[in-house]
Structure 1
Amino acid sequence: MRQVAALLRAEAADLRAIAEGRGVQGRYADALRDGARELDVRLRETAERYERVQGGLTHWAGELDGFQAEAGRILHAARAEEAGNAGDVDSLAAHRRALARVTAQRDARAAHFADRIRDQIDDEIKDSWWDRCKDAIDEYQSVISFVVDVMGWVATGIAIAAITMTPAGWVAGLAVWLTFGVLAGHLLLASSADGSWADVAMDLFGLLTMKVGTVALTNLRGVRDATKLAAELAAEERAAETSARETRSLRDRTSAVVNRRASTRAERGRARHLRNIARAASVRAGHAASAAEAAVPLPEASRWEAAVVGGDRETANLHKDVQRLRAAYPESPEVQRASLGAEGHKGVFQGTWIVATAVDGVDKGAGTSDLFPWKTSYGPYGHFKNRYVREVGSRW
Structure 2
Amino acid sequence: MARPKDWHPLRESDPVPGDPIEIREQVEHMKKIAKYLRTQAEALTAMADADNLKGKYADELAENARGLGRKLDLAEDRYREVKGHLSNWADELEDFQKKADKALSDAQDAQRTIESRSKSDDQSSDNKKKDDEKGGSDEDPVLKQAKEDLEDARKRLNSAEGGYQERSGHFASKIRSSIDDDMKDSWWNDIKGWVADADWLGDIADWASWAATAVGVVAMFFPAVGVIALALTVVVAAIHITQAVTGNGSWFDVVMDLGALKLARNGLKAAKAVKALQQNSRKTAAGLAKEKSTAQAAQANAGARKTAARAERRRGGTSRKNRERARAKRLRLEGENRAAGKRAADEVRDSEMPQITAQEKASAIGDRNLARQVKDINKWRDTYPDSAELASNASQAQRHKDVVQGSWAVATGLDTADKTADSFTDDGYSRMKDRMTAPVGSQW
TM-score normalised to structure 2 length: 0.56
Deviation of 1:264 (Å): 3.7
Q: Is the 8 A contact 1:227 1:322 kept in 2?
A: yes
Which of 186, 201, 209 is 1:144 aligned to? Answer: 201
Alignment deviations for residues 331-378 of structure 1 (CA, whole Å, 9 cap, x no partner): 4444335555222222222222222121112112214xxxxxxx6655
* Residues 132 and 43 (structure 1), Cα distance of their counterparts in 2 relative to 1, 3 Å cut: farther
Deviation of 1:234 (Å): 0.9
Aligned to 1:127: 185
CA distance, structure 2, for counterparts of residue 135 and residue 128 of structure 1: 11
Aligned to 2:354: 299
Identity over aligned pairs, percent: 30
CA distance, structure 2, for counterparts of residue 332 and residue 267 of structure 1: 44
Q: Is the 8 A contact 2:38 2:73 kept in 1?
A: no
Alignment deviations for residues 153-190 of structure 1 (CA, whole Å, 9 cap, x no partner): 00000111222x215x4x43322221111112212332
Alignment deviations for residues 113-166 of structure 1 (CA, whole Å, 9 cap, x no partner): xxxxxxx95xxx65112222222222233x322221111000000111222x21
Give runs of aligned pairs for residues 280-295 of structure 1, distance below 5 A.
280-295=335-350
Q: Is the 8 A contact 1:257 1:263 kept in 2?
A: no
Q: Which piece of structure 1 moves more, 233-242 or 258-267?
A: 258-267
1:157 and 2:211 are equivalent in the alignment: no
Q: Which piece of structure 1 moves more, 232-241 or 267-276?
A: 267-276
1:247 and 2:294 are equivalent in the alignment: no
* Residues 47 and 287 (structure 1), Cα distance of their counterparts in 2 relative to 1, 3 Å cut: closer
1:49 and 2:69 are equivalent in the alignment: no
1:392 and 2:430 are equivalent in the alignment: no
> Relative contact order (C-alpha < 8 Å, sep 6+): which is higher?
1
Give runs of aligned pairs for residues 339-378 of structure 1, distance below 5 A.
339-367=394-422
Aligned to 1:117: none
CA distance, structure 2, for counterparts of residue 173 and residue 316 of structure 1: 19
TM-score normalised to structure 1 length: 0.62
Give runs of aligned pairs for residues 255-334 of structure 1, distance below 5 A.
264-265=318-319, 269-334=324-389
CA distance, structure 2, for counterparts of residue 38 and residue 50 of structure 1: 11
Structure number with bigger Rg:
1
* Residues 330 and 288 (structure 1), Cα distance of their counterparts in 2 relative to 1, 3 Å cut: same
CA distance, structure 1, for counterparts of residue 355 and residue 38 of structure 2: 69
Aligned to 2:290: 236
Name the Cα RMSD after superposition. 3.6
* Residues 392 and 352 (structure 1), Cα distance of their counterparts in 2 relative to 1, 3 Å cut: same
CA distance, structure 1, for counterparts of residue 294 and residue 238 of structure 2: 60
Q: Is the 8 A contact 1:212 1:352 kept in 2?
A: yes
SS at match of 2:194: helix
Question: Mind listing any 5+ residue stretches in structure 1 that lack a counterpart?
Answer: 1-17, 19-30, 53-119, 368-374
Q: Is the 8 A contact 1:227 1:335 kept in 2?
A: yes
CA distance, structure 2, for counterparts of residue 155 and residue 366 of structure 1: 18
Question: Mind listing any 5+ residue stretches in structure 2 that lack a counterpart?
Answer: 1-27, 43-69, 78-180
Q: Is the 8 A contact 2:286 2:345 kept in 1?
A: yes
CA distance, structure 2, for counterparts of residue 289 and residue 246 of structure 1: 16
Q: Is the 8 A contact 2:249 2:437 kept in 1?
A: yes
Give runs of aligned pairs for residues 27-46 of structure 1, distance below 5 A.
37-41=35-39
Q: Which piece of structure 1 moves more, 143-152 or 337-346?
A: 337-346
Alignment size in residue pairs? 286
1:166 and 2:191 are equivalent in the alignment: no
Residue type matched to 2:36 in 1?
E
Alignment deviations for residues 368-392 of structure 1 (CA, whole Å, 9 cap, x no partner): xxxxxxx665544334323312122
Aligned to 1:224: 278
CA distance, structure 2, for counterparts of residue 336 and residue 50 of structure 1: 69
Q: Is the 8 A contact 1:224 1:319 kept in 2?
A: yes
Q: Is the 8 A contact 1:162 1:310 kept in 2?
A: no
Q: Is the 8 A contact 2:353 2:372 kept in 1?
A: yes
